[in-house]
Structure 1
C-alpha cells in the first residue's frame, strides 16, 4: 500500500466506528467516482497501491546494529543485509511495511546462542531497493539472500514474510526448518482487507483482484500457504497470538493442519507485532532449532 493507504493493522476493532483519516476519505471518494467513470483505471490503481509499501516503520523494541549493512543483488536492486554471531546461518524475515529492526530481538537471541543471524530489509522496504513488493518478488529476494549467505540452517519469519518464505520454499529454496510468527494463510485476505479500507464496492474489489494478476504474474488465489504446505519437507513451527487482529489465529491453524509434521503454539495478549519481543516466543523459536554443533 502507498502513503495514501493506511496500514492494515492501524484500524482496530472497537464498538465505535473509527473516524477515517481525511486523506483516506479523499481517496475513497476519488476511487468511487473513478469506479463509475473509468473502472479499469480505478482497478489498476487500487491493485498497484496494494503492492506498494509505504516507508517501513522501525520497531520500537528493535536494536540498531552498530555495523553498516552489506548489499546483495535482489530482484529489484540491492538488498540491505546485516549479520551477527557465528555458527549455522539462520535468516530473519520481517513483515509488511516493517524492516529488519523488527526481528532484532529474535536475531540477537540466536546470535547469542551460537548461530549466525542474518537479517535484511525486504524488497521496497527499509534500505533495500525497489518500489513495489508483490509476494513473488519478496520470495525471490529471500531466495537471493539465502543463496548469497547460505547454507541456511533455517528461517524465522514474521507475517507476510512467512508467506513469502513459504513461496520461496515451494519454488526450490531448501531449508531444514522454518518458524512462522503471525503468518497468514492467504494473500487474498489482505487484498480484500485493503479493498474494504479503500471503500471499494464489490464489483471494484473483484476488479482490483483481477488487475493484480498481470502485475503479480499469477492470480492472487494462488498464494495460499496451506496449498503449498502439503508438499513441504522442512520442519515447521507456527507461533501465533490468539488476539492477533491483523492475521486471525485461524490462518495459523489452517497452515499447521496442512503442513506435515508441523507444530503450533498459541499465545495470548501479544497481538501481531508485540509477539516478536516476547521472551517465551523467542525461547520457543530457539528450542525448535538444534543446538549449534549437534
Structure 2
C-alpha cells in the first residue's frame, strides 16, 4: 500500500469514526505552510537590509532594497512559498524608481510555525504596510492575492497606485474544494467540518476570503496576470477577478505555469509596463 493510500484510508476512518477530530486533523493538513517541513536560515538576502514589522506577533521583519526616499513597492508571496519566490521582480521595480519590500508570511520562511490562517496572513500584510508607511505598488502571487487585497481594503482611503495579482486565487472556497477533491479525496462530511473549523480559527467564514468581495469598492487599477494552463490555480479565477473588480486588466502568460510565471520575461515586462503606466514615479530609474 502506498503512503497516499494510507493517508486516504486514515482520513476516511477518522471521518467515519470520529468526524469532529477528523475534521480538525484535516484542517491542520489544509493549513500547513511547509511542504518540506523545513525553515530556512534567517540571513539577509543579497543587497537587502532589514525592516521591522511592528504590531504583529507572527511576523517580526522583512527585507528592503533601495533608498528610503523612494516610493515603496511591496511583494506578497503565495502560500507554501516565501519571500524569495518574488525576488525576480525586485530589479524591474527598482529600475522604475521604487524601494522594494518583501517579507515572509506567518509560519512561512524564517517565521516560526507550520500552520497559518488567512486572518493571520492578511493581518501580516496590513502590519507590513503600516510599518513601511504604506506602499504605492503591491505585487502579490497566488493565495497572497487574497491577503493583499484584504489588507488594502482594511484602510478607509488606501493610497495605493496599482496592484498586480500574479496567478491569483480569487476565493479560498475554490482552493478548499479543489484540495478536498484532490489526493485525499475527502468525504463531504469531513469537508463540511473543515469549513466550520476554519470559520472558528479565522473568526470569519471561508467565503469571506474572496478577492472580489473584499476589493469590490477599491478604485485601484489591477493587473491580473495568469497562465491559462496553470495546473495549480485555474485561469477562471483570474477571469472572476477581472469580472468582479472595478478596473482590471486581464493578461495571459501562456506556458509559464504557477511558479515559473514569476521569473518569466513576459511577467516582468507586463508588470513593469503596468506600474510605469499607473505608478507614482513613472520613468525614474535607480542610480
Partner residue, 1:164: 147
1:244: Cα distance to partner?
A: 0.6
Unaligned runs of 5+ in 2: 283-287
SS at match of 1:78: coil
Partner residue, 1:78: 59
* Match runs of 1:56-67 below 5 Å: 64-67=45-48
1:113: Cα distance to partner?
A: 2.9
SS at match of 1:117: strand
8 Å CA contact 1:242, 1:267 repeated in 2: yes
**TM-score, with length taken from structure 1:** 0.84
Task: Give the 3 Å change call, closer, same or farther, for CA 28–105 of structure 1 in structure 2.
Answer: same
1:97: Cα distance to partner?
A: 0.8
Separation of aligned partners in 2, 1:221 and 1:28: 26
**How large is the Cα RMSD of the aligned pairs?**
2.3
SS at match of 1:268: coil
* Match runs of 1:111-130 below 5 Å: 111-130=94-113
**TM-score, with length taken from structure 2:** 0.86
Partner residue, 2:285: none
Q: In the alignment, which of 221, 238, 256 is matched to residue 252 of structure 1?
A: 238
Asked if residue 178 in structure 1 is aligned to residue 159 in structure 2, the reply is: no
Unaligned runs of 5+ in 1: 1-20
1:119: Cα distance to partner?
A: 1.1
Higher normalized contact order (CA 8 Å, seq sep 6+, divided by chain length): 2
SS at match of 2:22: helix
1:74: Cα distance to partner?
A: 5.6
Partner residue, 1:224: 210
SS at match of 2:81: coil
Q: In the alignment, which of 156, 179, 189 is matched to residue 194 of structure 1?
A: 179
Partner residue, 1:3: none
8 Å CA contact 2:253, 2:266 repeated in 1: no
1:108: Cα distance to partner?
A: 2.1
8 Å CA contact 1:74, 1:123 repeated in 2: no
Partner residue, 1:5: none
1:216: Cα distance to partner?
A: 1.4
